[in-house]
Amino acid sequence: MNDQPLIYEKHDNGVAVISTNDDPLNRMTLAYIERLDGLVTEIAGDDEVRAFVITAEGDSNFSVGMNLLELESGIKAAGGVDPFFDQRINLITRIETMGKPSVATLFGYCLGGGLELPLGCTFRLAAEEGAQIGLPEMDLGTTPAWGGSARLAKCVGRNHALDMILRGKKISGSEALRIGLVNEVWPLAELKDRAFALAAELAAQPRLAVKAMLDALHDSEDRTVEELLAAERSGVHLTIGSDDAREGLMAFIEKRKPVFNQGS
């Protein structure tokens, strides 16, 4: 263990891994947010990174959320409640909209910010055993503040979101899968390996086409079919004639698996 709030690794297959380094609680401290903010900027501008995993050290908890002992000093340093929470909302939005797929692992406690951050990721995988996932801010006399209520409602619908938030519920991985909060459930011992494998699969897909689809389907539930068709057509213009499109066509003709992301 070192004193860095996050461990960051880049792999040769186009996958980066961000791991919270505060085992066992993996709190989202002020230092954590500052470092994550910088890493998101770095990943967004690094063409070698085509997908990334957000996880945590150890196997106890993904995150119990922010360190509440830092709340008062953090708000003061930020210049008020709004700029303090806006930084966190904007950070999650940047993850959500950067055009690179992300995979979050949910295990142990995934509470407050420990759920709000994964809600901004493309895929969420949960542990089959031991996960306790929720937005328990009601127990503190307040409400979610990092965009959790909005993203949870978009993800699972108003009824499930209100059931979780108003009752301060902590749900299991299997329940999260049932209501559509996570994409897959795996035994805890396999969870991180599966997340890395999924990120590697996504990183091997054609980069421009992945970005086009992430852009086209962002907030798709709030857009008309005509808007989605226009976004899809933008993806066609972005990718047609690209190196990956040529490689895909040649691989089809030659009856082999395509190897994408070798050129521009």
Q: Check if the beta carbon of residue 126 is closer than 8 Å to that of residue 198.
A: no
Q: Check if the beta carbon of residue 188 is closer than 8 Å to that of residue 127.
A: yes
Q: What tokens does 126 get?
A: 């949960």
Q: What is the 3-state secondary structure (H, E, C) of 142-197?
A: CCCCCCHHHHHHHHHCHHHHHHHHHCCCCECHHHHHHCCCCCEEECHHHHHHHHHH
Instruction: Kindly name the residue from 42, 70, 116, 221 that is annotated as catalytic.
Output: 116
Active site annotation includes 57: no
Would you tell me the crossing angle of helices 207-217 and 243-253 to the nearest 10 degrees?
110
Listed in sequence order, the residues at least 6 apart from 202 whose beta carbon sits closer than 8 Å to its beta carbon are 50, 51, 101, 103, 122, 210
Cα dihedral 70, 75, 76, 79 sign: positive
Instruction: Kindly name the residue from 96, 137, 221, 247 that is annotated as catalytic.
Output: 137
Q: What tokens does 13 get?
A: 């297959």
Active site annotation includes 201: no
The set of catalytic residues is 116, 137
